[in-house]
Amino acid sequence: MTHAEKAEALFCEGYNCAQAVLLAFGDITGLDEKTAAMLSSSFGGGLGRMREVCGAVSGASMVLGVLHGYDDPKDSEAKKTHYHLIQEFARRFKEENGSIICRELLSGVKTVGGNDPEARSESYYKKRPCPKLVFQAAEIVDEMLFS
């Protein structure tokens, strides 16, 4: 199973979009499942369902950060290199989907209003682009890491 297929399957198991992408890369990030799930739990639904940056984008950024991030605040070259990597990921994702913003990606999808997450059901998965988006996010990360 590819990382993209795993991300889609994890989303369909009930993980949020950010969790699905980060968890899919557990084989190479070295993060245990509980830590990865908890770390990324805040980013679903465009950051706590506020419909800001897509959680799949956030999850992919976490993967890239774990694998190619920087840890020295004085290393401006590493910071620049990493930011360029994230910008390239975002460019590719936006090129395929038109946006990296959750509310824009969900435009035209009838969603339940409010702050609480929607219950997962067959119709929930059918009406949303989210399974496809987590697949694409993971696929782009793999292309960037292994091409």
Which residue in this structure is represented by tokens 């929930």? 124
Q: What is the pLDDT of residues 110-133, one digit of tens each?
A: 777 777 787 777 777 777 899 999
Mean pLDDT of the residues in the chain: 94
Is residue 56 within 8 A of residue 134, CB to CB? The reply is: yes
Helices 76-97 and 55-68, interaxial angle, to 10°?
A: 150
Q: What is the pLDDT of residues 81-96, one digit of tens each?
A: 999 999 999 999 999 9
Q: Is the pTM of this model over 0.85?
A: yes
The pLDDT score that the predictor gives to residue 36 is 98
Angstrom distance (rounded) from CA 17 to CA 68: 21
Closest CA to 11 of 102, 126, 131: 131
Q: For 47, which DSSP code?
A: H
Q: What is the pLDDT of residues 43-55, one digit of tens each?
A: 999 999 999 999 9
